[in-house]
Every structure is written in structure tokens, then in C-alpha cells.
Amino acid sequence: MIVVTSGSKYMDIDAYACSIAYAQLLNLLGINAKAVSTANLNNSITKSLRNLNTKLDNYQIKEDDKYVVVDVSNPDFFDKFVKQENIIKVIDHHVGFEQYWNDKIMDNANIEFIGAAATLVFEEYEKNNMQDKMNIDVAKLLMAAILDNTLNFTATVTSNRDKRAYKKMQEIVGCKDFDKLYFNECQLQIEENLEDTIKNDTKTEKVSENLPRVFAQLTVWNKDFLLVNIYKIKQILGDIDDEWMLNIICLQDKRSYIIADNKNMQVKLQYLLESQFDNLIMPLESVMLRKEIIRKAKSI
């Protein structure tokens, strides 16, 4: 069996969509495959998407299973059951481990800096002439992943390939307002359960001296609900670590708002992101993804 999976801590819509979509592609090609994860699903995977007929598989991992890993290429963050020596393919849009995987699996390492891993998976369907056989539910999942990862095509990581893949799948789904439906549902879920939403999209890794170990991110249509609850946010993230930050991506404003309360970290973030804090809040000039902020911090 080929098991398609992703990271261990949590699963966002890109990892979820890619796992399911690539497993289905393999099955269309006559190769037995299952999409499996032990990670918590975060709120980018909305209730309506979870209720689609297309879901993760309930499958018991076996000793000789082979693995395709999607939306992650750092071995430290693979799902706990993955055996590196059994990995046959990696599909990821986070760069940094290209040479590592090229040395191990050569052409089966598909790692490119692009808006969404979902775009790479859609292109795998095209390479195999299977785009016309794509399930509508799979197309919806991949479309949501592209929307989420490109912030409705406003993020600087957005490529023409992301836009093209989305348009092609929109033709399969036949819904012109899919973006509005998706983001409105995301907003409602955040408002209903703020604490779990934050915890399920928080990275805890010291990647740079210019960033705190605890780095949360939320994408919303309207930021007002979060700003009203800023002291609740402070408590939620402060319970994890003294140094933390939250990147609120507001699609309505087309900009990010950075929340942090540690004074030393505020100084570092002001230098890194070229803006100023007003109490706990620092507005940025445009939308900036967590991965873009991490990349910038690592480059200094």
C-alpha cells in the first residue's frame, strides 16, 4: 500500500486536500493508495469540507507500506508513523530540503516555492492526463487549499500557476462564489471557537533569533472580532510561552496585523517587518504569510 500523508502536529487544508487528492490520483492510475493522518485537523478545513464524501482513510499502517509525503519536506515534522527509508515521493511548496530529497529520491522530489502544494498536486493530475477524471469533492478541497495558502490570491507567494489551477478546477466544480463561501465559513468557525482555532494553527519551533518560538496565524475576512478579544488571545498564547506572536491576516483590509506583547520581541519584529507597534498591535503594509515572515527572519 502507498500511504499519502503530511505533518505530525496539525493538518491544514493544504495538507488535507493534497493527501486525499494524491491518493485518489494513484487509485485512478491503478495503484493502491490511502490518505492517512494522525494529526489534528485545524480550522482551515471547514465543517462543509469535512462533510464531503471524500475524506481521509481509516487504515492501519503496515510494516512494508510506502509513503508519499505532501505539504512538508522537513523530516522532523513528518507524521509519526512515517519511515523515511520507505518514502517514494515528496510534494511540497516549502523550500529548504530540495537537495536532501533530490539526493534520496531524485525526480520524485517535487519541491517548489509556489503558493500552494495543492497546485503541484493538480499539476500531477495533468501530467498523468487525469484532470478530467478528478472528483468534484477533490477539486473543492484543492481549491480551498489554494485560496487559503494564497490568501485569496493576495499573498506575494501567489503564482500564475496557482491562479491557473484554481480556474481549471472551478470549471470542474461550477461554483463562481466558492471563495466567498469558503472564507465566510472560516470566519464563523474562528468566532465560535477562538482558543482551539489558535492552538490548532500555532507553530512551536525556534527558527530564528528574530522570531519567538510560538508563532500563531489566523486568516479572517474581518479582524474586528479578534481585536476585541486581544486579551483573550494574549492569555491563550501566553500559556504556551512567554514569547509569542500572532499574525492576523485580514482579507478585507488586504494586510496583516502582528500581535505580540513581549517588549524585546516587539523591538525585533519592528526591525524585521519595518513597522511600529501601537501597544500590542503592529499593522503591516500588506498581507504577509507566516512562511514569508520566517523566510525573511532566516535571511537576516
140-178 pLDDT, tens digit each? 999 999 999 998 998 888 999 999 999 999 999 999 899
How many CA within 13 A on the CB side of residue 181? Answer: 11
CA distances from 54 to 33, 46, 186 (A): 14, 14, 19
Which range (7-11, 67-71, 115-119) has the least confidence?
Answer: 7-11
- Residue 221's pLDDT is 85
Under 8 Å between Cβ of 207 and 298? yes
- Residue 266's pLDDT is 97
- The alpha carbons of the chain give a radius of gyration, in whole angstroms, of 19
Q: What is the tens place of the pLDDT at every residue in 252-270?
A: 898 999 999 999 999 999 9
Largest CA distance in the chain: 58
Under 8 Å between Cβ of 214 and 243? yes
